[in-house]
Amino acid sequence: MSENTTHFGYRTVSEAEKSGLVGQVFHSVAGRYDLMNDLMSLGAHRAWKAYAVNLSGVRAGQQVLDVAGGSGDMTARFVRRLRGKGQVVLSDINPSMLAVGRNRLLDQGITSMVDYCLADAEKLPFSSNRFDCVSISFGLRNVTRVQEALYSMYRVVKPGGRLLILEFSRPSTALLRQVYDRYSFTVLPRLGKYIADDEASYQYLVESIRKHPPQEQLKKMCSKAGFEKVRYYNLSGGIVALHIGYKLR
């Protein structure tokens, strides 16, 4: 893969083309994104997110950036952790997803402590050393240049702050990988077809998981971006991994 190309699922496309293709996917699925997450993960994504937020160290008075925050699910969890003091910025590159997130947070009665920003994870439009915690949940695999996004997130984290990456990863055993692949490539696209009327988008989402860096590779990429004491936790046998890294200086 050359410097100017990347992957869109299993297809090789130009870097300039990928952002538009990913945008089309999330414009298409925005309205049913949470429903499909429940179906795709059999509801487990809620437990994974709760686990990540519990390990985030976020406390009252802090500043949190929820990158690729989509439907606002993680933002709502961080707001509750702040206990009335602090701020969460919900950012997403896709205006349809950002609108869904804003509306759902308002429906939950979350009318303060949250700002919204249309932003590219690779070029976050925030001052350096601003946030106590930067989180990206099931969004990193859709970024065109993952390493650039990690550099960008490192820049906006305060010294002493931390990065959380919650993302689908590589199952830890061959048997689990086999079962997971069969489920992913047969069941999930069909769910996309019959529930969201969009089989192609969910085929891409499955393929994007397989192209995402596995646990050890992503750990090295976080370290390359400047994060220290990087570690990860395998959830559900490695189907999902939570990476945590710190900006110490």
pLDDT per residue as tens digits for the range 224-245: 999 999 999 999 999 999 999 9
pLDDT per residue as tens digits for the range 41-98: 778 999 999 999 999 999 999 999 999 998 899 999 999 999 999 999 999 999 988 9
Domain ranges of the chain: 5-246
Whether the predicted pLDDT of 3 surpasses 60: no
Dihedral Cα 95, 77, 239, 40, nearest 10 deg: -60
CATH H-level superfamily of 5-246: Vaccinia Virus protein VP39 (3.40.50.150)
| Side-chain-facing half-sphere of 12: CA atoms under 13 Å | 5
